[in-house]
Structure 1
């Protein structure tokens, strides 16, 4: 009796390796092109804001400066608000990196926090002459009220830095008993930025960076 040949049921084969490589290469190239287009829009918006000294610009101005199309703009951003948010998030991330590098120059954990508080206050406050007002001051204040979730995302890098600094104080037994590093980090950061951005509204004697630091330091550290 003839023996029946075994026929193995094969599962659908994966795509050939050459095809996977080709698709991946194509996808990576498209991603790079998209990133380049986004970067050109961001650079154009930053240039327009710097020239005008305000965030009061139009999408068309950014499109013209970037030498790209309006259609391309709306493929990457829903509108001006999302563009501003992207710029704001990028600015906050760069600010956190700069402050972290500044803090690293100090050996004492309290000194690290101090230089960060002072520098953040000075870089966030408006120029009372009105000539060098930080470009995102008004936008940040509006964002805090109208889009708090977006504000939290944008401020995440700064909050992470302050949390690191507060954790160092806690480890050195310098943080006031009962305080949680992340909560006191958020409270301190918000105190510094809010008072800096509203500087000048409290009358003829605006708060100074040293006053803000003295207030924060005495509130968060042990006696």
Structure 2
């Protein structure tokens, strides 16, 4: 059912996602749906949490394989963009549709962005202890990356995301130069 929620939401948008659409796509009864979820919002949140968990694992695994700051950021960024390109429905739901899915969904989205921001800040502090503004740099970096990804996903251009890695890394290097 979670896959059906993702697929239906990606096709119709969260406002157009219905229990009827989900159960038709999943091939389950209404009763089965309500045995698992109270309503469409709860189904969306469960599907979002599952998708974000898979995404985070992919990014963290790529990140953990590297030792140097730049290599870690590149691996994490590449992992993120490749995952989203390979999973355009998940990209649409987790990046765009989450914003129209209510306060609980937006809180989850904000928590994920904060997790990435905290990770970036910790890495900057660890690798460049004298850097003057690690928190601001991390916030700006993650916020900017999210904005770039959002625009591509919103216009249906997810397949081009991996091609951005080099240019985004160039911007990161400029932002952190002189540290």
TM-score scaled by structure 2? Answer: 0.68
Shift of 1:66: 5.1
Change (3 A) 1:100 1:177: same
CA distance in 1, matches of 2:10, 2:48: 13
- Number of the residue aligned with 1:134: 88
- Number of the residue aligned with 1:23: none
Other structure's SS at 1:106 match: coil
Residues 103 and 116 in structure 1, CA contact (< 8 A), matched pair in contact too = yes
Change (3 A) 1:176 1:55: farther
Shift of 1:191: 2.0
CA distance in 2, matches of 1:220, 1:121: 21
Work out which of the residue numbers 91, 98, 117 in structure 2 matches 1:143.
98
- Number of the residue aligned with 1:121: 81
TM-score scaled by structure 1? Answer: 0.57
Higher gyration radius (CA): 1
Identify unmatched segments of 5+ residues in structure 2. Answer: none
Residues 96 and 161 in structure 1, CA contact (< 8 A), matched pair in contact too = no
Give CA deviations for 1:48-75 in whole Å, capped at 9, x if unaligned: x2xx794436423533565654234235
1:112 maps onto 2:112 in alignment: no
Change (3 A) 1:199 1:110: same
CA distance in 2, matches of 1:96, 1:185: 18
- Number of the residue aligned with 1:170: 125
Change (3 A) 1:193 1:108: same
Identify unmatched segments of 5+ residues in structure 1. Answer: 1-40, 126-131
Say which structure, 1 or 2, has more relative contact order (CA 8 Å, 6+ apart).
2
* Structure with greater helix percent: 2
- Number of the residue aligned with 1:191: 144
Work out which of the residue numbers 203, 211, 223 in structure 1 matches 2:167.
211
